[in-house]
Amino acid sequence: MPEGHKTHHIAREHTKMFAGQPLKVTSPQGRFRGDAKKVSGKVFDRCDAIGNHLFYRFEGDRMIHVHLGRYGKYRTHGTPPPSPIGLVRMRIVGDLQSIDLNGPTTCRVVDGQTMANVIAKLGPDPLGGGKKSDAWNRIRTSTKPIGALILDQSIIAGVGNIFRAELFFELGMDPRLPGNEIHKAAFDSLWRTLLKMMRTGLKYGKIITVTRREAGVPLATLEGGERFRIYKKDTCPRCQCPVESIEIAARKLYWCPACQATPSRP
């Protein structure tokens, strides 16, 4: 599933491609056809990302709400676009470029009120200028493990399974630690590190948690697992112990029990 840096990256790219243009919006697959007609031909303003949600704003209080989910995927083409590949739910054609969207969880036309309702259910998005204190107030009063709280989109929007593993490893934090046993200073450092990781992800369009020095090559050239320190690794890069995995919030979390042993609040 794409994590928050990816939706912000997509929003930026699609705004650059289409801002100020009347867009042709269709649904080659058919499932989005009725809604597509509501915005097709209207002038597109910009695309906003909030957590893992995208909102394509059009004139007249209309917007396309997209959540990619696990299988959603965009393809970019020139104009005119080629024949649809697979089940294209939404096709947007601008002056010079076009995009196809396959397999999203959500793709619908909504108004500003519905958009506000979606956002109201989300926690602060670090990349969207969300307030750190909103997340802290939820975390410090919860007895759930921090490894579960961090994936809860109503507490912090935009964190997925890779950021989660990499974040706790960088912090040396035990992901089983209950929220109410976390020091304020440790949470501040968590937020700061998460923001740094998400900004790097936004810059490169992919999650990269190793440093230039650790990688030994320019970060932009990194692909696949070489971008990470702990996610799906066999051995810990710090202590060489075997990396373990535990299930927290129904997702597999990779961690090094030797390096991630944060003492709880005294």
Q: Which residues bind Zn ion (CB under 5 A)?
A: 236, 238-239, 241, 256, 258-259
Is the Cβ of residue 39 or residue 253 nearer to Zn ion in the bound state?
253
Min CB(255)–Zn ion separation in Å: 9
Min CB(13)–Zn ion separation in Å: 37
Min CB(169)–Zn ion separation in Å: 8
* DSSP, res 40: T
Is the Cβ of residue 207 or residue 259 nearer to Zn ion in the bound state?
259
Min CB(254)–Zn ion separation in Å: 11
Is the Cβ of residue 95 or residue 214 nearer to Zn ion in the bound state?
214
Calculate ∠ Cα 168-148-251, nearest 5°: 90
Is the Cβ of residue 220 or residue 241 nearer to Zn ion in the bound state?
241
Place of tokens 């919030």: 249
Is the Cβ of residue 188 or residue 244 nearer to Zn ion in the bound state?
244
Cβ burial of 250 (10 Å; 0-12, 13-18, 19+) is: exposed
**Rounded to the nearest 5°, which phi and psi values hold at 189?**
-70, -35
Is the Cβ of residue 12 or residue 176 nearer to Zn ion in the bound state?
176
Min CB(167)–Zn ion separation in Å: 15
First-to-final CA distance of the chain: 37
Min CB(242)–Zn ion separation in Å: 9
Q: Which residue is at the shortest CB distance from Zn ion?
A: 236
Q: Which two tokens stand for residue 126?
A: 């670090």
134 and 221 Cβ atoms separated by less than 8 Å:
no
Q: How far apart (Å, rounded) are the C-alpha atoms in residues 254 and 161?
A: 9
Cα–chain-centroid distance for residue 31?
Answer: 25
Beta-carbon neighbour count of residue 95 at 10 Å?
12
